Chain A
Amino acid sequence: MVERPAWAPQGIDLSVPSVSRIYDYYLGGSHNFEADRDAGRRAMEAFPGLPKIMQANRAFMRRAVRYAVDQGVTQFLDIGSGIPTFGNVHEVAQAARPGATVVYVDHDPVAVAHSRAVLEGNERADIVSADLRSPRDILDSEPARRLLDLSRPVALLLIAVLHFLEDADEPSKSVAELRDALAPGSLLILTHASTDGGPRKPEEGDKVEGVYRNIGSPLIMRSRTEVERFFDGFEPVEPGVVAMPLWRPDGTDDEDDPVIYTGFAGVGRKA
């Protein structure tokens, strides 16, 4: 009898670009390999200005987290959290409110391992290796049960992750299942890729979709209406679903590249 069934799934293949490492590359980090950078460069070629969009995405995330803390929501469930880098959710949240708790979730094993290393010693933040497509696994995980009190409001972050779920994955179903598990007053904070209303043409969107499809992690641009539909069961928080820089800006951005108006951001409150 051979030792291991030859048809069993193999381990981790670092030659396959990973969404989280490509993203780190956009953010000027070095948590990436050449394969990731190569894919990142191809995406940037197809869709110039991607890093600036990501920067706007990160900036929105920080504003939204602070908004949540201001609203008294100090528990965070960040799904699709990626590779921890400068200015993570727990840093922002715990800087604003030392007692804030954060549960990160990602399905990329390297991102998870790295998060684990970064979060070591932080009693109020932890990482779960799980998939957004299986919300039960997330909610039932040990860190979620330890760090989140579901009878009180939670801020659910789905930042730049829903566009990695194809329609066949039924992203709305996942969002609804998470929503149903959360207490009234909980917040849904999300951003989503789109060419709708932004300066980039749909063809460019198609091209970048192609890059991600090639690496086996399809990216789906969705229209504003489709993005708004994710907020079913949530009351929109002013100013609703808007381009990322327009969501409660904390300064002027007149001098920025207009590419940052690509994609949508929004916050909703569960009634």
Chain B
Amino acid sequence: MTTSVAEDRADGLRRFAAIWSRAIYPATATSMTRAEFEEYLLRLAGGLSEALRAQPFDPRFGGDTGAALVAAHCTDPEALPRILGVIDSYLLLYCPPGEAVPADEAAARCGRLQHWLAAGYARSLRDRTLAEQEALSRAALAARTEAEQALHESEARFRAVFQGASIGIGIAGMDGSILEVNDTLTRMFGGLEHHVRSRNVNDWGHPDDGPGTWDMQRQVARGERDHYSIEKPYYRTDGTVLWTNLAVSLLRDPAGTPQYMLALLEDITEERLLRERLRFEATHDALTGLANRTLFFERLEEALAPGTGAARIGLCYLDLDGFKDVNDSLGHAVGDLLLVAVGERLQACVTSPGQLVARLGGDEFVVIVVDPKARSEVTALADLILGALAAPIRIEGRELSVRCSIGIVEGPAGALGPAEALRSADITMYRAKAAGGNRFALADPDADARAITRHGLVNRLPTALERGEFFVEYQPLVRLSDGSVRGAEALVRWCHPVHGTLGPDHFIPLAEATGLIVPLGRWVLEQAARQARDWQFPGLDGPPLRVNVNLSPSQLHHPGLVPETVAALAEAGIEPSALCLEVTESALIGADEDLLRPLRQFAELGVDIALDDFGTGYSNLASLRQLPITTLKLDRSFTRGMQHQPVDPVDVKIVDGIVQLAHTLGLSVTVEGVETGLQAEHLRVLGCDTAQGWYYARPGPPERLHALSLVDASST
């Protein structure tokens, strides 16, 4: 019975809770699932049911129930009528208090429980609301304190970074007024803080500001750009220049409105100086301090750049005449001093910023004239340069005269590329040089074409020796007294793949100019020496055939000349007396002891020395005594007048005089260019010793000489 009463009661409670839950749940915001919620309500329903039955009646449990419902977030205003409505309608029905409580008493209890529930609900909701609001406020306060703490720490960190930073930091308002700067920045400006702080960003212009610097700054100030970084110079407080890597950033507030401009500055003054020095070194010639090839081409390219460059351009390409002689005879140290002095004089000739002097290397200089007013401006400059170099240069107590040859190119900038312009000037310079030097020549295409041929030779010359393009021909030397072959002059030929066989006149000056003369001369000497050995055939009496080899002035400067010659003789196995070296008169004019030393050494060894082209230069005849020579080779011009009848008496007189003098000095006389028998006869009568010329034989292969000698030998 009791069990069944209890079961009935439990069943009733469950039904009530189900109805109650179904009514309230939709109006709640509880986190509980529906099942959890029904379970929760079941407990509350049990309490209410107890309260209905309890003796004495205590309505306070209604209040607890209200509080429990608030705790479960049944706080929607909709919820309360539903809560009460279900109690009112179903509580007594499903949870009757039993006989002990009469029906009207039960109804009254149910009513009072509802009143208490409503009161408890309201109180609890009020308390909870206040408690939550307070908890929230406390949380907000705590969060704010924490945020402020964090902010404070971040500020402290910021301060430390700001002040300790090795870069300068500045903050400016959007109007450019400086709000804050760190110590580093102040130090960088070399001033007191207020000097920097009292300024406005816009006061910080500098003449060397990069183009666009202030455009970018204005864009930042207008909020149109968020960042830029550049290299920027500033004036320090003392007026000196401070170079910086500047990075400017726009700082916006959370809504995106520009608020401040932040500048980070790194002092790169020293780095820049170093960079400038390196750049200077990379673009300037260490010896003369002039612009070097790199800078020259940079400037030239800039001037020739289509669109942005100059309208016209002028180039003076300049090469010293005879610089090599100075270098070879006086040594490189003097040569260098000379170049420095020349550089200074050239620099003094250029006056406008549109002109630049550069040293391209060796003794080659070039002056660029950007946008010359007229061609005459460039030629006038060339004249100025020639004039500037006219006065001798005094170096280490010596007066050195330097002359130069100048090639001028002048024309519209679009016409030539940098390399062609320079080449054209170079070729033109050669033309000036070929015309005797100490002058300028203007580029002209026809002359260029001719010069290019020469120039082509120059380019091919260095490799011609390796390629075996040279060969040697021999022209016999004949004793006038008896017509016997005494030897031959070795004459080098260049079998050029394009131009055919070229005589020494075509390329020896170039070989001299390029320095190739030394290896070429050595090669010729070796060939000649070997040939001389071959000529010493057995069965031929009389002194052995000799070979004459030309020595150019540059070879005389070459320190290896004597030992190499000795080696070549030894290698060939011939006596020094089988060799005669020919040196031109002009090479020996004014020659000093240094230049004569190798000749004296040759003479001591027993090598004959002939003074070639004698009579073409102005030799002090008396000075011939001092020269270690054994032979005079008379230039053909003296004997031309004897080729045909009537013989020129003046020529006869002169040659007679020379022969007398030579013999007095113990020198033999050789005559070049003998073309007729008449001529040969006259010369023999005049006492000349040997002769050479087409009358006897043209230059030819060595075998021809062999044949001649044999004829000669058999005829005597």
Q: Are B143 and A109 in contact (CB under 8 A)?
A: yes
Q: Does B495 contact A (CB under 8 A)?
A: no
Give bound CA distance, A87 to B262, whole Å: 49
Residue from B34, B73, B135, B171 within 8 A of A117 (CB atoms): B135
B136 and A86 contacting across the interface, CB-CB below 8 Å: no
Contact with A along B21-43 (1 / 0, CB 8 A): 01001101111111110100000
Which one of B150-158, B485-493, B499-507 contacts A?
Answer: B150-158
**A1-38 toward B: CB 8 Å interface, digit per residue (1/0)?**
11011111101101000000100001111111100000
Q: B325 interface residue, CB < 8 Å from A?
A: no
Residues of A within 8 Å of B526, CB to CB, are none
Q: Does A179 contact B (CB under 8 A)?
A: no
Stretch at the interface among B125-133, B439-447, B558-566: B125-133
Shortest B193–chain A CB gap in Å is 8
CB-contact partner of A55 in B30, B35, B151, under 8 A: B30
- Tell me if B139 counts as interface (CB < 8 A to partner A): yes
Q: Which residue of B lies closest to A115 (CB)?
A: B139
- Tell whether, in the assembled complex, residue A30 and residue B128 are in contact, meaning their CB atoms are under 8 Å apart: yes
Instruction: Tell me whether chain A's interface is mostly helix, strand or loop, or mixed.
Output: loop
The B interface is mostly helix, strand or loop, or mixed, namely helix
- Indicate whether A166 reaches chain B with its CB closer than 8 angstroms: no
Interface size for B (C-beta < 8 A) is: 47
With beta carbons under 8 angstroms apart, the residue of A4, A27, A114, A257 that contacts B31 is: A27
Which of B147, B162, B260 sits near A109, CB closer than 8 Å?
Answer: B147
> In the complex, are the beta carbons of B155 and A110 less than 8 A apart?
no
The answer, among B133, B136, B151, B262, for a CB contact under 8 Å with A110, is B136
A1, A61, A83, A252: residue with the most chain B Cβ atoms closer than 10 Å = A1
Pair B133/A109 contact, Cβ less than 8 Å = no
Q: Complex Cα distance A2/B75, Å?
A: 51
A116 contacts partner chain B, Cβ-Cβ < 8 Å = yes
Is A112 among interface residues, defined by CB-CB distance under 8 A?
Answer: yes
A residues less than 8 Å from B262 (CB atoms) = 7
Chain B residue contacts of A256, Cβ below 8 A? 25-26, 34
B29/A87 in contact, CB under 8 A: no
Kindly state the separation between the CA atoms of A87 and B138 in the bound complex, as whole angstroms: 21
Q: When the two chains form their complex, are residues B143 and A12 in contact, meaning their CB atoms are under 8 A apart?
A: yes
A111 to chain B, nearest CB (A): 8
Flag if A6 contacts B179 (CB, 8 Å).
Answer: yes
State in angstroms the CA–CA spacing of A30 and B33 once bound together: 21
B171 touches A62 (CB 8 A): no
Interface residues of A in 235-268 (CB under 8 A from B): 249-253, 255-257
Contact partner of B143 (CB less than 8 A), chosen from A113, A250, A251, is A113
Q: Are B33 and A250 in contact (CB under 8 A)?
A: yes
B144 at interface, CB cutoff 8 A: yes
> From B140, which residue of chain A is reached at the shortest CB distance?
A110
> What is the minimal beta-carbon distance from B196 to any residue of chain A, in angstroms?
12
Q: How far, in angstroms, from A59 to B36 measured CA to CA in the complex?
A: 10
Q: State which of B36, B132, B259 has its C-beta within 8 Å of the C-beta of A62.
A: B36
Query: Which residues of A have CB within 8 Å of B142?
Result: 113, 116-117
Q: Is B146 an interface residue (CB 8 A)?
A: yes
Q: Does B421 contact A (CB under 8 A)?
A: no
Q: Given contacts A86-B73, A117-B139, are A11 and B144 in contact (CB under 8 A)?
A: yes
Instruction: Give 1 or 0 for each of B413-436: 1 = CB within 8 Å of chain A CB.
Output: 000000000000000000000000
Bound together, the chains give a CA A26 to CA B41 distance in angstroms of 22
Residue contact B151 to A87, C-beta cutoff 8 Å: no
B76 contacts the other chain (CB 8 A)? yes
Given contacts A7-B259, A30-B128, A110-B143, contact A251 B135 (CB under 8 A): no
Cα distance, A256 to B21, chains bound together (Å): 12
A251 to chain B, nearest CB (A): 4
Which chain A residues lie closer than 8 Å to B144 at the CB level? Answer: 11-12, 109
- Considering the complex, give the chain A residue whose CB is closest to the CB of B158: A5
- With A30-B133, A117-B139 already in contact, the answer to whether A250 and B35 are too (CB < 8 A) is yes
Chain A residue with Cβ nearest B131: A30
Q: Tell me if B180 and A2 are in contact (CB < 8 A).
A: yes
Q: Are the C-beta atoms of A28 and B35 separated by less than 8 Å? A: no
Interface check A223, CB cutoff 8 A: no
Asked if A26 contacts B31 (CB within 8 A), the reply is no
B247 within 8 A of A: no
Of residues B29, B32, B71, B262, which shows the largest number of chain A Cβ atoms within 10 Å of its Cβ?
B29
A251 to B17, CA, bound (A): 15
A2 to chain B, nearest CB (A): 7
User: Nearest-CB distance from A258 to chain B (Å)?
Assistant: 12
Check B132 against A30 for contact (C-beta < 8 Å): yes
Q: Which residues of A contact B180 (CB under 8 A)?
A: 1-2, 5
Considering the chains assembled together, what is the distance between the CA atoms of A1 and B136 in angstroms?
37
Closest to A61 in B: B31
Verify A114–B73 contact, CB threshold 8 A.
no
Chain B nearest CB, measured from A63 CB (Å): 6
CA–CA, A7 to B180, complex, Å? 11
Chain B 62-93 residues near chain A, CB threshold 8 A: 71-73, 75-76
Q: Is there a chain A Cβ closer than 8 Å to B148's Cβ?
A: yes
Cβ of A51 under 8 Å from chain B: yes
Which residue of chain B lies nearest to A8 when distances are taken between CB atoms in the complex? B155
Of the A-B pairs whose beta carbons lie under 8 Å apart in the complex, a sample of 8, sorted by A's number, is A7-B259, A8-B151, A27-B29, A29-B132, A33-B136, A86-B71, A87-B32, A249-B33
9 residue pairs, one from A and one from B, having the closest CB atoms: A28-B29, A87-B31, A114-B139, A251-B35, A109-B143, A58-B31, A30-B132, A113-B142, A113-B143
- Apart from A31-B133, A55-B29, A117-B142: 20 A-B pairs, beta carbons within 8 A: A1-B180, A7-B259, A7-B260, A8-B155, A8-B158, A27-B31, A28-B73, A28-B76, A33-B136, A62-B36, A86-B31, A86-B72, A109-B143, A111-B139, A113-B142, A114-B136, A117-B139, A250-B36, A255-B26, A257-B26
